[in-house]
Amino acid sequence: MAYKKIESYDEKVTNGLIKNYHECLQLIGEDAEREGLLKTPERLAKAMQFLTEGYQQDAKAILQGAKFTEAYSEMVIVKDIELYSLCEHHMLPFFGKAHVAYIPNGYITGLSKLARVVDVFARRLQVQERLTHQILDAIQETLQPQGVAVVIEAQHLCMMMRGVQKQNSVTTTSAFSGQFGDGTTRAEFMRLIGK
Ligand SMILES: Nc1nc2c(ncn2[C@@H]2O[C@H](COP(=O)(O)OP(=O)(O)OP(=O)(O)O)[C@@H](O)[C@H]2O)c(=O)[nH]1
Ligand SMILES: [Zn+2]
């Protein structure tokens, strides 16, 4: 299914995670049986399945599901798509905005689908660079447009709460294909997203 929402959680996965998170609580020195923590392993098991549900979803099927023939061939930009992902090194969140653009080549897609594609790849263990490329590749391969541009600006909690502890650094990644290789087109995109 293109965009499967978690309505019922896989029992085997949920039970396995509950067991592990219960042990995690004990290992960090908590009393896993105290009232406030009794349901925490189950809550966390469900939260983690939600935050990684992108593994069960198919970005290309989502785009194909709303692919329409249209002669429009100017840039289409959806900017400021908020995203939340988990860094694969520490499994701590990184969060920010994605700006996605494409120049149609006979086909357009539903605007919401671009934001859904961002979520499909964000809801996995990621590095920002791969996330950027996966979004671009899914759009390029499905719509075969004249070009795709993806810019992501994000803050990484693994650099804020721990480690180097820098509170204001923002990481920007970008990927471009087709006509966005042209300096003028790319500059227009950057201007339109306010960069
Ligand atoms: N390139 C890239 N690096 C990331 C991303 N998210 C986290 N990292 C980095 O992954 C690196 C992992 O480095 P390690 O030295 O193995 O881990 P560490 O000892 O916890 O490193 P520190 O964070 O520097 O304390 C760190 O430099 C993180 O900042 C990302 O999306 N892209
Ligand atoms: Zn990290």
User: With the C-alpha atoms ordered 66, 122, 79, 174, is the resulting torsion angle positive or negative?
Assistant: negative
Nearest partner of 86 among 78, 77, 97, 95, judged by Cα: 95
Residue type, 77: I
What pLDDT sits at residue 68?
A: 98
ipTM at complex level:
0.92
Structure confidence by residue, pLDDT tens digits, 158-188: 999 999 999 999 999 999 999 999 999 999 9
**Would you say 94 and 131 are in contact if contact means Cβ atoms under 8 Å apart?**
no
Among left, alpha and beta (phi > 0; psi -120 to 50; other), residue 151 is: beta
| Of 85, 88, 89, 172, best ligand 1 pocket probe by most atoms within 8 Å of the beta carbon | 89
Nearest partner of 98 among 111, 85, 79, 116, judged by Cα: 79
Q: Residue 27: exposed, middle, or buried by beta-carbon count in 10 A (0-12, 13-18, 19+)?
A: exposed
| Band of pLDDT at residue 8, cut at 50, 70 and 90 | confident
30 Cβ contact list (under 8 Å, min separation 6): 37
What is the C-alpha separation between 84 and 136, in angstroms, rounded? Answer: 17
Structure confidence by residue, pLDDT tens digits, 30-65: 999 999 999 999 999 999 999 999 999 999 999 999
The reply to whether ligand 1 has any atom less than 6 angstroms from the CB of 88 is no
Question: Is-catalytic flag, 22?
Answer: no
Nearest partner of 126 among 92, 160, 75, 80, judged by Cα: 92
Q: What is the mean pLDDT of residues 148-160?
A: 98
Q: Residue 11: exposed, middle, or buried by beta-carbon count in 10 A (0-12, 13-18, 19+)?
A: exposed
Q: What is the pTM of this model?
A: 0.94
What is the C-alpha separation between 165 and 169, in angstroms, rounded? Answer: 10
The reply to whether ligand 1 has any atom less than 6 angstroms from the CB of 164 is yes
Neighbours of 120 (CB within 10 A): 26
The reply to whether ligand 1 has any atom less than 6 angstroms from the CB of 159 is yes
Structure confidence by residue, pLDDT tens digits, 46-55: 999 999 999 9
Q: Which domains does the chain have, with CATH numbers?
A: 11-51 (1.10.286.10), 58-192 (3.30.1130.10)
What are the start-end ranges of the H helices in 11-100?
11-27, 40-51, 59-64
The answer to whether residue 6 scores a pLDDT higher than 70 is no
Q: What is the mean pLDDT of residues 138-161?
A: 98
